[in-house]
Chains A and B, each alone.
Chain A
């Protein structure tokens, strides 16, 4: 009987909101658990400051490494402290004799000072390391919000999905946000994640009390996904590409980036003559030397590739579904067109071509083609290098998925046997049609 009464008394005590003394103890507990994270998270970024202004360190990746390490530690701590009671584990936070609201406050809100201070230290580090691209105040704001969102995400997910998924999602978010935080203009996204994480944790409290675990999980995940849904992305779902064309069809639709000569004096704009799918291509050629303009229609899917010499422009045509590419040369001033040759490649090669260059002897054509690798859609340009051998009428890729810093005007040197792409450090053997990176042995013994 005594035991029952004691148990009932304890339950009643649990329902009471904690006293000032209990608040103090809970705060002390948070401090005892969190101070190593705070110490490491603040000291490590600040330690890198002496190296920030030094040129050789700028691209060393030390800032990324520190941000990653500190972030991982924060995610680990967050996911671990919020984990559920499981087998083979010590008592978890749910076992604390405090009512649910106080537990929620001390789980989510009380320790926020730690990620905020860690974020501030990281912000100072980012501001110092990337002073040219982001002001210090913006860097601190972005980094504080970034760390708060990371912490709250892992804290919220740990009881919902268990510790390991929370860790993984937290780490993925960490690496997703790492590039964003350097630009400092992603505050709305971080804020959205913070708010949604707090709302989701409150919802989870309600669902788990009602023992609707799976419903709660689905609701929480869906809620989190809304952070990445923007009005723009919703518009994209219902986007009809033909709608835009309708609006611009009253004039000649220039649909492609113009091809400009190296000296900027010649330019070709091109597009389709009208809205029909297989309408002819129209080239608009402007010569700034004598302010002349020419235009001419060509069969559909013709596009300019390169300036050969004087007023001569190399054109390529590849119809959809066809592997053969037809080459022709257009002399804009005399309006003469002559066939140059053709070669067999893959479908849609010309549609992906961003730069072409003819060898001086006219036998080979280099095509820099946007890679089909998904990474190429991101901030970096991954290209495939193709060489067309006009004597044999074939084209082959000589290198694939090459990171190309400059596709507008890369220096190229053709010899009778080789093509050098200087800035890419690439050498193509024209006899074997194989490409490779340049090696020190290509230049003999070092002096």
Chain B
């Protein structure tokens, strides 16, 4: 075993060095918040660099041996020991480099930040980096056992993944919509459990197929190895992938999925929250490639004092519109608005109702601060009207801006005035509870005041 380690080190030291440097570099300079505890995902192609080098290191692990005229397999060597050596070597590199990165991070960080980099955060960050890199190495290694040479290893991996991508795409395009969906927004739990099962099965399958070859076929000739890979191991791999589909929904959900907060909007004084939750596959499935897309999402309102939940009305609002067009006006009223639409929706969490407000034109600006007493809300819309002239035969359309004041309690329009401001923001502010000030575009006209009649 010691000699195998020595052999592995002699043959792979340059790869090991480059991989170590890539892991160190990205963990230190490109990993964002790797060692500081909670963090948001930071994705960039450069972060894939250590993973790409890890994949190549793995892809050359057996393929390099196979390409040599004096192959290691011509000697009486325990193949399990050889495999263990290769896996251990990679584990030492990954763990060593990421721990080193953690130590360097701790040493160079300014003193006030040290309380964030606790030993637990440092260790979990390092383990996360190491696990990601080791798994991708394993993927490369299992692809390296068929065709000699580094390029052969990568080609094998692509050949294995190609049918899977094709099957996934075809399944989504042509299977009944309720059965499988990787991408659509309103997927059912069953659908993303199936998708997660498929991904998990793929990982399992490719590892099982690759490792089986190291046990049963690695000493055979090239042609025989390629034949076995195509006829036996590739179907085995695909079957393993597809077994994910057959996992019972409950099991798949419990084992392979977890809930995450996607987006939240908390009311101004923290009484209510509009929460968007997503289901994500467990980290081990997607962490190696930092896959950011969630499988589905749900929106609901929560009263933070006692965690009482309310579901949101559908109101014909598209999936994504809940996420980015939500705004709390006060703690008692929120609105969902989409610029350019002729409506907005007011939501009253304490009353558990929602109200649709039809606007006379397309919404172009929403003043996000209500009147001082919290009863009125100014809205700017763009309308169009027909203009006819004696000189022109056809009727022309003209756009004009309308300032509207909405009653937040009833959703009714309490006043509307034509204004000349076409820009953002339109310069409106509250002079008092029932007086809205507006600065016109014309310098001479100065400020106009609109009085709202309280009924």
Given B44, B261, B302, which contacts A439 in the complex, CB threshold below 8 Å? B261
* Given A440-B260, A446-B277: A413 touches B149 (CB 8 Å cut-off): no
Closest chain-B Cβ to A431's Cβ sits at a distance in Å of 15
- A215 contacts partner chain B, Cβ-Cβ < 8 Å: no
- B2 contacts partner chain A, Cβ-Cβ < 8 Å: no
Chain A residues within 8 Å of chain B by Cβ, number: 82
- A226 contacts partner chain B, Cβ-Cβ < 8 Å: no
Tell me whether A47 and B166 are in contact (CB under 8 A).
yes
Closest chain-A Cβ to B170's Cβ sits at a distance in Å of 9
Q: How many A-B residue pairs have CB under 8 A?
A: 227
* Given A164-B14, A171-B52: A88 touches B68 (CB 8 Å cut-off): yes
Closest B residue, CB atoms, query A426: B38
**A-side contacts of B308, CB under 8 Å:** 444
Tell me whether B158 and A44 are in contact (CB under 8 A).
yes
Q: Render A408-447 as a binary contact track against B, CB cut-off 8 A, 1 for contact.
A: 0001011100101011110000000001111110111111
Closest chain-B Cβ to A36's Cβ sits at a distance in Å of 6
Tell me whether A346 and B264 are in contact (CB under 8 A).
no
CA distance in complex: A420, B309 (Å) = 19
Tell me whether B116 and A397 are in contact (CB under 8 A).
yes
- A206 contacts partner chain B, Cβ-Cβ < 8 Å: no
Tell me whether A403 and B52 are in contact (CB under 8 A).
no
Tell me whether B300 and A447 are in contact (CB under 8 A).
yes
Tell me whether A425 and B439 are in contact (CB under 8 A).
no
CA distance in complex: A35, B157 (Å) = 17
CA distance in complex: A232, B425 (Å) = 37
Q: Which of A13-21, A48-56, A131-139, A191-199 contacts B (4 or more CB under 8 A)?
A: A48-56
Given B15, B52, B183, which contacts A164 in the complex, CB threshold below 8 Å? B15
Chain B residues within 8 Å of chain A by Cβ, number: 92
Q: Which of B86-94, B230-238, B268-276 contacts A (4 or more CB under 8 A)?
A: B268-276
Q: Which of A234-242, A259-267, A299-307 contacts B (4 or more CB under 8 A)?
A: A259-267
Closest chain-B Cβ to A364's Cβ sits at a distance in Å of 14
Tell me whether A375 and B298 are in contact (CB under 8 A).
no
- A374 contacts partner chain B, Cβ-Cβ < 8 Å: yes
* Given A263-B425, A264-B427: A424 touches B184 (CB 8 Å cut-off): no
- B29 contacts partner chain A, Cβ-Cβ < 8 Å: yes
Closest chain-A Cβ to B94's Cβ sits at a distance in Å of 18
Give B22-59 interface residues, CB cut-off 8 Å to A.
29-30, 32-33, 36-46, 48-49, 52-53, 55-56
Which B residues are within 8 Å of any A CB, using their own CB? Answer: 14-15, 18, 29-30, 32-33, 36-46, 48-49, 52-53, 55-56, 68-70, 110, 112-113, 115-116, 149-151, 154-155, 157-159, 161-162, 165-166, 169, 172-173, 182-185, 259-270, 273, 275, 277, 289-293, 298, 300, 302, 304, 307-309, 311, 320, 328, 367-369, 424-425, 427, 429, 437, 439, 446-447
Other A-B pairs beyond A175-B49, A414-B270, 18, CB < 8 Å: A50-B173, A57-B293, A60-B291, A60-B293, A65-B289, A69-B157, A88-B68, A171-B52, A178-B45, A373-B32, A397-B113, A399-B116, A400-B116, A411-B328, A414-B269, A425-B264, A443-B304, A447-B300
Which A residues are within 8 Å of any B CB, using their own CB? Answer: 36, 40, 43-44, 47-48, 50-51, 54-57, 59-61, 64-65, 68-69, 72-73, 76-77, 80, 88, 164, 167-168, 171-172, 174-176, 178-179, 262-265, 288-291, 345-346, 372-375, 378, 380, 382, 384, 396-397, 399-403, 411, 413-415, 418, 420, 422-425, 435-440, 442-447
What are the nearest 8 A-B pairs in CB distance?
A444-B307, A56-B183, A415-B270, A264-B425, A420-B266, A413-B266, A76-B151, A178-B45
